[in-house]
Structure 1
Amino acid sequence: MRNENKTKDQLIQELVKMRKKIADLEEITAKRKQVKTELKESEKKYKDLVEETPIGIANIGITGKIIYINKRLEKISGYSREEVVGKGVFKLGLFSNEMLKILKERLKVRFRLRGGSVRLRREIHFKRKDGKWIWIEITAKLIKKWGIPFSLRITVQDITERKRAEEKIRDSEERLKILFGYAPDAYYISDLKGNFIDGNKAAERLIGYKREELIGKSFLKLKLLSLADISKAAKALVKNIMGQPTGPDEFVLNRKDNSRVIVEISTYPVKIKGRTLVLGIA
């Protein structure tokens, strides 16, 4: 129907419908703009979070080229992003040969896997720009787009201080182990049930048994003590359970060769790796 044949009311109705469609389109356009703005804000927040996080982050393409590193990784590595982005991670000398081999193997996984994600976690040596080698904990995750391997997301934490602390603890434990093992007095360690856990060489010489013959066994059930001395040892153990040291108390020990030896034993409750044990000295 031509406009000249339409009534005034019909024209008004069509105009109202047209205005409604225009309003709907404007609302859709406004919502799209709002979604787009919110998406940009969300992306900016994510980028800012990644950029300022205290963990080093890098994206490495499946060809091995570095796509991105954040500020923290710049600080850890000593390199600026301008120095490394676009360059092959395998050619910068950042990793030991062992780690390079592992990373290359992980990159090859993209040809074999089509589902799930590939993760790698290692504690490795890492070479800074200044030539200094540090310890880092590295996590690598295979990122896919539309089901196709796209890149590796790398997270890096500097754990050098933790490694140094662990090394100091190991050195300290090793020294204590040597001192314990070669002390001139007989030393032994038992749990609160009287089961032997360890003993030194002087203790082996004192009773004639090898430590392996006694570990895991209770002095209450062994024939090392007389019945009277077993009662005395049990009372000492009760005090140890209450956190009290005992002794020196005199005991007669039955040696492996059936001979006897008189000793004075002092016991001390000690904490080892959070566990209360008894240190005995004879």
Structure 2
Amino acid sequence: MKNTSFAEALLSFSRAALRTPCPSPAGLAESLIKTARGLFGPGRLIIRIDGGAYAGLYCQGVPAAARRSFQSYRGRVTAVGSEIVSGGASFFAVASPPGGPSLINMALCCGGRPAPQEKEALRGFTGLLALADARCAVEEDLRQSEETYRTLVNSGRDIIYSIDPLGRVTYISPQVRRYGYSQGDIIGRHISMFSHPEDRQDTVKALANAFKTGRTLPLIPYRARRKDGTYFSAEQKSGIVFKGGKPVSITGVIRDVSDRRELERELRDSAETLRKIFDNAPDAIFIKDLDGRYTRVNRACAEVLGLPADKIAGLNDFDFFKKAEAEEGRRQDERVLKAGETVVMDNVRTDSAGAKRVFNVVKVPLRDVYGEITGLLSIARDVTRVRAMEAELVDRKAGELVSKLTGGMAHDFNNVLAAIDGYATLVYEGLKPGAAGKEEMRSIISSVKRAAAISDKLHDLPEGLKKRGRKN
């Protein structure tokens, strides 16, 4: 057999192995088996692929005993070639280089010692088949990556685009359908045509500057045009593709931020509403940190403390109230900040004018997103007049009750005293001076008058309670 036959076979096999797309190693192995009949003789070439998608034994006309022997062999085989014996059969085997996706062993059997050119050809075929196997693995990885990328592009909400140095769109992802366009509506047109007229000049400048400097802006906000002529808020982020050190295209992402902008607007409106409620509430509202320092107060609270709201941050109760009052407030704060309790109670405080005022105070803990206490919020309502009115009402109710209890008793008691006084007076006047018992009668009459005076005081007691309530 001539050397040129091996050379021609290797050249033909290399062309097949290097085709694009890469043929499968299984197909190449089967094709090589057929070609090998004319090179090595029938029933001599046997190929074993371990691992990967094409694992298996490939041969034709090889005796079953030789196939089983080679299939079961797990000894060392080198890339240069190894003489091996397995199950009574001898082989000259060549292994693919390590590190490939599969281990390929190619061997000649059943024909005595192979000639040098046969060994060389076997090494060449093994290397080419290993190369094809590696190419297939790379192409499969690339295909899966492309499929993953395509899935991400097609399933995402963002628009992916590419433009050339003239600003013409060379690629646009299918997401443009959400805005009424087909991909063909956009590809080939200048990208500025899809921005608001007031934003168009800035878009063109940013594009020209990017190709000139080789750098894009971190983020470009603008209004993008839908096909129906309406606009939506968008943010564009991009990068430059270089070739030969020169920028050749820009690829980027366009994100619809209309919902986010609307949410931001609603949050701003909500925050403004809460600010107005906070600042204009008639009750004193304040926030303290973990150390009991004021961090924010509203206008009503600032009036109580006697300082402008912007001068109060960082101060504590000891800067405004008497020591005993501040200590009481601090104990309440600790219950809220350390135990997480909600505190509701009346506090008596001396205001900036020196007046005693009663506040109904509610203190609740403030927590972050992790549930950790970061401070406290308190609402204090001035109930000084309310508490005074409540005390007056209590006194009035007490007076009414005493009146009910004592009014009837005084009347009945006076009736009894009147009878005693009448009879005692008749007896007294009927006795002659110095008669026995006359002085005793006079003492009885005097005692009756004192008892009547006490009865009158008892009758006037409810009115006295009412007057005291009004004074309080």
Query: Which bin holds the TM-score, normalised by the shorter protein?
Result: 0.7 to 0.9
1:41-65 CA-partner distances (Å, limit 9, x unpaired): 3574266235424032111112110
Distance change (3 Å), C-alpha of 1:210 and 1:32: closer
**Alignment of 1:237 onto 2:336:** no
Give matches, 1:200-279, under 5 Å: 200-220=298-318, 222=319, 224-241=320-337, 242-255=339-352, 259-271=354-366, 274=369, 275-279=374-378
Work out the CA distance in 1 between the residues paired with 2:359 and 2:258. Answer: 47
Check whether the contact 1:189–1:280 (CA below 8 A) recurs between aligned residues. Answer: no
Q: Report Cα offsets for 1:50-101 as digits up to 9, x if no partner.
A: 54240321111121100111112332x32111101000011x2424534651
Preserved contact between residue 66 and residue 84 of structure 1 (Cα < 8 Å): yes
Secondary structure, aligned partner of 1:129: coil
TM-score (norm 2): 0.49
What is the CA–CA distance in structure 1 between the aligned matches of 2:126 and 2:344, rounded to whole Å? 92
Aligned length in residues: 263
Indicate how the Cα distance of structure 1 residues 96 and 278 shifts in structure 2: closer, same or farther if over 3 A, else same: farther
1:106-128 CA distance string (max 9 Å, x none):
43232234xxx645224443221
* 1:207-238 Cα deviation digits (max 9, x unpaired): 32111121122223x1x111111121011101
User: Higher relative contact order at CA 8 Å, sep ≥6: structure 1 or structure 2?
Assistant: 1
Give me the whole-angstrom Cα distance separating, in 2, the residues matched to 1:244 and 1:46. 52
In the alignment, does 2:168 pair up with 1:73?
Answer: no
Match of 1:61 among 146, 158, 164: 164
Going from structure 1 to structure 2, the CA distance change for 1:47 and 1:86 (only over 3 Å counts) comes to farther
Matches for 1:62-101 after TM superposition, within 5 Å = 62-75=165-178, 77-90=179-192, 92-95=193-196, 97-98=198-199, 100-101=201-202
SS at match of 1:120: coil
Match of 2:208 in 1: 107
1:202–1:15 CA distance, 2 compared to 1 (3 A)? closer
Show CA shifts across 1:111-151 (max 9, x none).
234xxx64522444322112232223321112212321111
Check whether the contact 1:240–1:278 (CA below 8 A) recurs between aligned residues: no
Separation in 2, partners of 1:178, 1:226: 31
Distance in 1 of aligned mates of 2:220 and 2:364: 38
**1: CA distance between counterparts of 2:148 and 2:377?**
54
Larger radius of gyration: 2
Equivalent residue, structure 2, for 1:191: 289
State the Cα deviation string for residues 164-190 of structure 1 (Å, max 9, x = none): 222212211111111111112222222
More strand by share: 1
Please give the alpha-carbon distance, in whole angstroms, between the structure 2 residues aligned to 1:184 and 1:25: 88
Structure 2 CA distance for partners of 1:144 and 1:253, relative to 1, 3 Å: farther
Matches of 2:145 and 2:347 in 1, distance apart?
A: 76
Tell me the SS of whatever aligns to 1:144. strand
Give the root-mean-square deviation of aligned CA atoms.
Answer: 3.1
Secondary structure at the residue paired with 2:317? Answer: coil
Compute the displacement of 1:266 (Å): 0.7
The alpha-carbon distance between structure 1 residues 230 and 62, as it changes in their structure 2 partners (threshold 3 A), is same
1:263, distance to aligned residue in structure 2 (A): 3.0
Partner letter of residue 290 of structure 2? Answer: L
**Unpaired runs of at least 5, structure 2:** 4-113, 382-472
**Residues of 2 paired with 1:208 and 1:29: CA distance?**
86
> How far apart in 2 are the matches of 1:185 and 1:25?
87
What secondary structure does 1:239 align onto?
helix
User: 5+ unaligned residues in a row in structure 1: which ranges?
Assistant: 4-11
Seen in structure 2, the aligned counterparts of structure 1 residues 31 and 95 have a Cα distance that, compared at 3 Å, is farther
The one-letter amino acid paired with 2:307 is Y
